[in-house]
Amino acid sequence: MSAVLSAYRALIAGGELRPDATQAAAAERLAELATALEAVPKRGSTLWKLLGRLPDPPRGVYLWGDVGRGKSMLMDLFFQHLDIRRKRRVHFHAFMQEVHHRLHIARGSQVPDPIQPVAATMSEEVRLLAFDEMIVNNPADAAVLSRLFTAMFDRGVTIVATSNRAPTDLYKDGINRSLFLPFIDLIQQKCDVVALNGPVDYRLDRLGRIDTWLVPNGPEATAALSAAFFRLTDYPVEDRAKVPVEELDVGGGRMLHVPKSLKGVAVFSFKRLCGEARGAADYLAVARRFHTVILVGIPRLGPENRNEAARFVTLIDALYEHKVKLLAAADAAPEDLYATGDGRFEFQRTVSRLNEMRSFDYLAKGHGAD
Ligand SMILES: Nc1ncnc2c1ncn2[C@@H]1O[C@H](COP(=O)(O)OP(=O)(O)OP(=O)(O)O)[C@@H](O)[C@H]1O
Ligand SMILES: [Mg+2]
């Protein structure tokens, strides 16, 4: 049996995952793909020379469905147990950022079709690309995807992707969508499209009924948020000192240090996010990258904190627009957080958004801007 499938079954047997027929079927499909990828003869092997060309890459898998259905969980399991060397897992947005950066450089060197060298670089040293959260919402991405992926598939790349949308609904109502349609055909041609749309939102389940805005800051709130972090990320509490950090590229050559970053969940202090000179670009990068943000140490704000308050407004706008789940510890309820000071009137919108962000309906929404 493939290691992917036995790992999945072990998690069910150990009670870490609840049995779910739709997930089991998807796990089997992914296990099949792992076996196929592992069976491809190594570059330079005799068989490969006999064929005289690159063997056709195995068909990929496009997993789509509502939030919290276990898409990323299954993809991670697949990726972790896939026994090939040339594999890469990347958040789709980060990948596209990299693509545009490389396209920009390639255009400077006057090559006739910059997409070709970029596709070559991006598929170098990988046979399997795993994309989490495939989402297309800007014309710049839409315009290059079809040619970029055609070139990557031609170079023997297989993809596995997760998305909240069926391929046919990608970039729905987008500008110049007709230029994008070949990409949809391409995905359907090169991947099995697997719907993962069972009735249970497991993430919401794991959040439980905790209030997501905890007052006041203190050991009790910290303990509750820490427990939520470990539940959401399936990370062993014993390894708490080893939770990965991340340097997030916020554009313009600037980085943002993320002190805890795991499976789309980030932990920040208010001081780091709103106490330093940060702006909309930083908050957008955070909102795109993470589906859940845990923000600790939000103090009561006064007239002397007008800059922090303004940054906090921008941060909440970005999180709200990308439907990011916010778990926070603060010294006051949203309506009492910024009682007096410049921009207090505008802060009303933030209060209203913060309250909506605590609702069941908001928490059940999918991550993303569209
Ligand atoms: N069968 C299951 N039993 C228990 N927990 C599960 C099960 N499937 C998934 N989970 C857990 O539910 C949470 C959400 O799963 P996951 O992140 O894979 O969802 P997703 O489909 O990728 O959602 P999104 O579309 O928002 O990215 C994770 O913590 C995951 O480990
Ligand atoms: Mg996911």
Closest Cα partner for 68 from 169, 207, 161?
207
Q: Which pLDDT score is estimated for 345?
A: 81
Q: Is 320 helix (H, G, I), strand (E, B) or coil?
A: helix
DSSP-assigned beta bridge partners for residue 251: 254
Are 183 and 146 contacting, i.e. CB atoms less than 8 angstroms apart? Answer: yes
Q: What is the mean pLDDT of residues 257-274?
A: 96
Position 133 pLDDT exceeds 80: yes
- Cα(164)–Cα(69) distance, integer angstroms: 10
How far is Cα 119 from Cα 253, in angstroms, rounded to an integer?
A: 23
What band does 305 get if pLDDT is binned at 50, 70 and 90?
Answer: very high
- As a whole number, mean pLDDT of residues 17-45 equals 91
Distance 202 CA to ligand 1 centre (A): 5
Element (H, E) at 72: helix 71-81
Sign of CA dihedral 204, 361, 354, 252: positive
Give the rounded percent of residues in the chain with a pLDDT score beyond 90: 79
Asked if residue 17 has its Cβ within 6 Å of ligand 1, the reply is yes
- Is any ligand 1 atom within 6 A of the Cβ of residue 63? no
CA-to-CA distance for 350 and 315, rounded, in angstroms? 10
What integer pLDDT is reported at residue 43 of this predicted model?
Answer: 67
Nearest ligand to the C-alpha atom of residue 22: 1
149 phi and psi angles, rounded to 5 deg: -75, -35
Whether 76 lines ligand 1, by a CB cut-off of 6 Å, is: no
Q: Long-range contacts made by residues 90-95, C-beta under 8 angstroms, separation at least 24? A: 90/129, 90/130, 90/131, 90/132, 91/131, 91/132, 91/133, 91/289, 92/131, 92/132, 92/133, 92/134, 92/135, 92/161, 93/133, 93/135, 93/288, 93/289, 94/249, 94/289, 95/122, 95/129, 95/131
Q: Which atom of ligand 1 is nearest to the CA of 66?
A: 25
**What percentage of residues in the chain have a pLDDT greater than 70?**
96
38 contact partners, CB below 8 Å, separation of at least 6 = 82, 83, 84
Ligand 1 lined by 164 (C-beta under 6 Å): yes
- Output the CA 15–ligand 2 centroid distance in Å: 21
Q: In this predicted structure, what is the pLDDT of residue 369? A: 58
Distance from residue 198's CA to the centre of ligand 1 (Å):
11
- Residue 70 alpha carbon, nearest atom of ligand 1: 18
What is the 240 CA–ligand 1 centroid distance (Å)? 21
The torsion of the CA quartet 132, 137, 142, 148, rounded to 10 degrees, works out to: -20
Ligand 1 contacts CB of residue 203 (under 6 A)? yes
pLDDT digits (tens, 9 = 90+) for 315-369: 999 999 899 999 999 999 999 999 999 989 889 889 989 999 998 889 988 888 5
Among the atoms of ligand 1, which is closest to the Cα of residue 233? 29
CB atoms within 10 A of CB 291: 24
- What gap in Å lies between CA 109 and CA 64, rounded to an integer? 38
How many angstroms does the Cα of residue 58 sit away from the middle of ligand 1?
Answer: 26
Q: Which CATH number is correct for 202-363, 3.40.50, 3.30.70, 3.30.1490, 2.60.40?
A: 3.40.50
Query: What is the Å distance from ligand 1's center to 110 Cα?
Result: 45
CATH domain 3-195 topology: Rossmann fold (3.40.50)
Looking at the chain, which residues constitute the CATH 3.40.50.300 domain(s)? Answer: 3-195
Which residues are within 5 Å of ligand 2 (an ion), measured at CB?
A: 72
pLDDT tens digit string along 143-155?
Answer: 999 999 999 999 9
Determine whether the shortest distance from the Cβ of 123 to ligand 1 is under 6 A: no
Contact 197 CB / ligand 1 (< 6 Å): no
Our mutation pick for probing the ligand 1 site, out of 61, 62, 73, 134, counting the most ligand atoms within 8 A of Cβ, is 73
Task: Confirm or reject: Cβ of 127 under 6 Å from ligand 1.
Answer: no
